Structures are given as structure tokens and as C-alpha cells.
Structure 1
Amino acid sequence: MAIDYGSKRVGLAVTDPMQIIASGLDTVPTKEIFSYLNDYLSKEKVSKIVIGEPKRLNNEPSQIAEEIQKFSDRLQKLYPTIEIVRLDERFTSKMAFQTMIDSGLKKKQRQNKALVDEIAATILLQDYLSYYN
């Protein structure tokens, strides 16, 4: 599973059992993420969660990095058997938006920020699967 954490929304992606292809799962309001994850993780087997680590171009943490670290720490406490992995997520939102353009989505559809977050999580997970699996 991959999580693209944001202060308003959280994009989620999952992979197939053979861990080959990442697919978008959902976008959830940030305030509801732990309730959503509790429900999802009680039904599905997840061994690892990849969480995006936002960095600036100069490799320094972005503004939201501290909030994401708190989220990651809480997640690890709640689910100690699930491995938490942090992965650089620079440009995933831009890549997600470009993916929407390339796939022919209309301008109105491309303005759907929830879809951008879900696609960004999918890109994050696919990157992880491609390079670390």
C-alpha cells in the first residue's frame, strides 16, 4: 500500500498479490484516514506501507514533512506488524497531473484534486515496486 499524505486529503494505492502493478485505491479526507485504514486493514492483508516523503529541490524537508512524520509514527504504533517505508515523492503530483493530460481527461476532470492524490499514490507505489522490490 502507498499513501500520498496531504493536509486535506490522503491518496491511497495498492498492489496486486504478486506486487507487480500499482492501482489507485481511494482518496480520503485526512481527518478520516485512521478510520478508513482501520477498516481496510482489518479486511486486507498489507505487509508494507510506503509513505511519500516530500522534499524540496535542495533535498530539504518540505513544510508538511513534520506532519507526515507524526502520521507515520502513529501508524507504526497502531500497526506494529506492518513495515513503514518512506520514499521521496518529489514530482509525483506533477507526474499525476501529466498522466491525466496524457490519458485524455477533460480539463474539468483534471481539476479533481482527489484524483490527482490517488494517481500520485499510485505513482509512488509503482516507483517503489520498480526500484525496491
Structure 2
Amino acid sequence: MAQILAIDYGKVRTGLAVTDDMQIIASGLATVATKELLDYLKTYTEKENVELFLVGEPKQMDNTASESEALIKPFISKLRSTFPHIPIERVDERFTSKMAAQTLIDSGLKKKQRQNKALLDEVSATIILQSYLYNK
């Protein structure tokens, strides 16, 4: 088996999470400046065996695509052309930011630490990945 890499795509920053090779545990990987994301993924996939990309799919409560989907679709096209051998799946990411914020509160981080948006993005990607593994 190989890793699954989850992507919580954002306009400025993108949170990343990965599984272990047995695809049992989801762990935060990094938060990367979005403009550097494809280069980061190229370097990462040269060192690690990634068999699937999960990309968060932001939706409204009525199940329609959110505004940020317009930013994600061009990224997915670039991702497909850069990594044609790695399949891409979408995962509903509704409420992941709120769940990530609550996770940071529950973990006992001080308010100043919880305001670190990069950490929030990484935790959000981990939640996306964990939900995929749970429903797999």
C-alpha cells in the first residue's frame, strides 16, 4: 500500500495531511503557501509513495458548490496534468474548519496558539483525511 495525501486548498495557504503506508492513521503533514504547493507536492512524491490525492470539496448547506470551488477547479486541473498517474478524489469539507478550531481548543492550546491559521489548515486537512478513512 501507499499513502493517501489530503489537500485543504486555500487561496493563500493549503493544509496537507497524509496517512501511513497502511492507510490506518491520518496525520498532519504541513501547511504550504498555495503558490508553492505544486512544487512541494513534486518534491514530496519523489520521496514518498502516494497513491491518491484527496481534495476538499467546499459546499454550501444546500449542497451547492461554495465560491472557493472556482479556485479549486483550476488547481485540480494542474494537479491532474502534473501527476497523471495519481488519482484524485473529492471529499466534502463542510464544517472541517469549525471542527479543527474545536480540536485546537480541546487540545488545550492557548488562544494565541489557536490563532495560527497555518495550524488550523493542517488540522482541517487531517479531519478531511480522517473522515475519508472512516467512510472507506
TM-score, with length taken from structure 1: 0.97
Residue 12 (structure 1) aligns with: 16
Q: 2:95 aligns with which of 76, 88, 91?
A: 91
Gaps of 5+ in 1: none
In 2: Cα distance, 1:28 partner to 1:42 partner: 17
Shift of 1:82: 0.4
Residue 69 (structure 1) aligns with: 73
Q: 1:22 aligns with which of 14, 19, 26?
A: 26
In 2: Cα distance, 1:120 partner to 1:28 partner: 13
Q: 2:114 aligns with which of 106, 110, 128?
A: 110
Residue 124 (structure 2) aligns with: 120
The question of 1:60 aligning with 2:64 is answered yes
- 1:39-88 superposed Cα distances (whole Å, 9 cap, x missing partner): 11111100001000000111111111021011111101111110100010
Counterpart residue type for residue 105 of structure 2? I
Gaps of 5+ in 2: none
Out of 58-67 and 114-123, give the one that drifted further.
58-67
Residue 6 (structure 2) aligns with: 2
In 2: Cα distance, 1:75 partner to 1:5 partner: 12
- Secondary structure of the corresponding residue to residue 23 of structure 2: coil
In 2: Cα distance, 1:37 partner to 1:19 partner: 19
Counterpart residue type for residue 14 of structure 1? V
In 2: Cα distance, 1:39 partner to 1:94 partner: 31
Q: 1:101 aligns with which of 100, 105, 126?
A: 105
Q: 1:31 aligns with which of 35, 41, 49?
A: 35
Percent pairwise identity: 60
- 1:3-41 superposed Cα distances (whole Å, 9 cap, x missing partner): 000001000000011101100000001111011111111
